[in-house]
Chain A
Amino acid sequence: MIKIIAGICFFGSLLAFGLGTLGLYRFPDPYTRMHALGMGDTIGVGLVGLGLFLLSHSWILRIKLVVIILLFWMINPTMTHLVAKAGLIHGIQPIKNTKLRRDE
């Protein structure tokens, strides 16, 4: 039963990675591509970690997995944010009709 649930988690993570990669190819803009890839990676890593958490059989392993997942959930949005900010500073234009919020 646990193996079935873990298999469902792995399949969902594969779906999330695939959708992220598809979004990387189908979106017209670097920022939207970045958004799709960040979402797909975050959900995929979370689901893989959940499946391995269910499959593992010692507590030290589960603690390591939880630390890895939490760290990844901090790292990946930070990295995406920094890359987007670097792109804006470089002057890479978003697609048309984009409303940029200006900080007063």
Chain B
Amino acid sequence: MILLVLLRAIIGPTIIDRLISINAITSKVSIIILLMAFAREEYGFVDVAFVFMLCAFVGGLWILKVVTPGDWQLRIPGLKGFEGDGFEGGKLGADKLEGGRLKANKPEDSGFKGDEHEEERLEIEDLEGDKLKGDREEGNLLD
């Protein structure tokens, strides 16, 4: 049965088939570890199954994090996200996401224009920091 699910993971036409197949494989492997622990009467393997299940969950979450476009996508410079797939139509209710998650693509576009302003902001912050230092050195030490 694991081999059948693995075959679906190999031939799966979309990415979510593969993800859910990997999830099912890990759950089945966890169950097999449990059964082997009871069959061989080595009950320490129950903890092994528990930790294996938790690690599989965290691994699946990380894969979803990398794959899903949004605020938490990895910022790779050559990779422009997945906006060519299904975003332009908004057929699936994905247009609601433009306010929240999909803003992540916009700062990369306006990144080059904002460099000068960033330098100015840095200078202003330095001036303010000097003023604060001056205040501290001059007057407020007695307080």
Contact = CB atoms under 8 A, between A and B. Distances in A.
A49 B34 CA distance: 9
Given A55-B38, A83-B16, A83-B20, A91 B93 contact: no
B65 to A, nearest CB: 9
Interface string B50-87: 10011001001100100111100000000000100111
A8 to B, nearest CB: 15
Contacts of A72: 27, 30, 53
B22 to A, nearest CB: 10
Given A25-B4, A86-B64, A34 B16 contact: yes
A84 to B, nearest CB: 7
A38 B27 CA distance: 10
Give the secondary structure class of A's interface.
Answer: helix
Which range holds the interface residue count of chain B? 35 or more
Nearest to B50: A68
Which range holds the interface residue count of chain A? 35 or more
Given A24-B21, A88-B94, A71 B53 contact: yes
Given A37-B20, A61-B43, A86-B68, A76 B27 contact: yes
Contact of A79 (B13, B15, B35, B60): B60
Interface of B: 1, 4-5, 8, 12-17, 19-21, 23-24, 27-28, 30-31, 34-35, 38, 43, 46-47, 49-50, 53-54, 57, 60-61, 64, 67-70, 82, 85-87, 92-94, 96-97
Given A34-B17, A76-B27, A89-B94, 9 more contacts: A17-B1, A24-B21, A52-B38, A65-B34, A68-B46, A71-B50, A80-B20, A86-B68, A87-B14
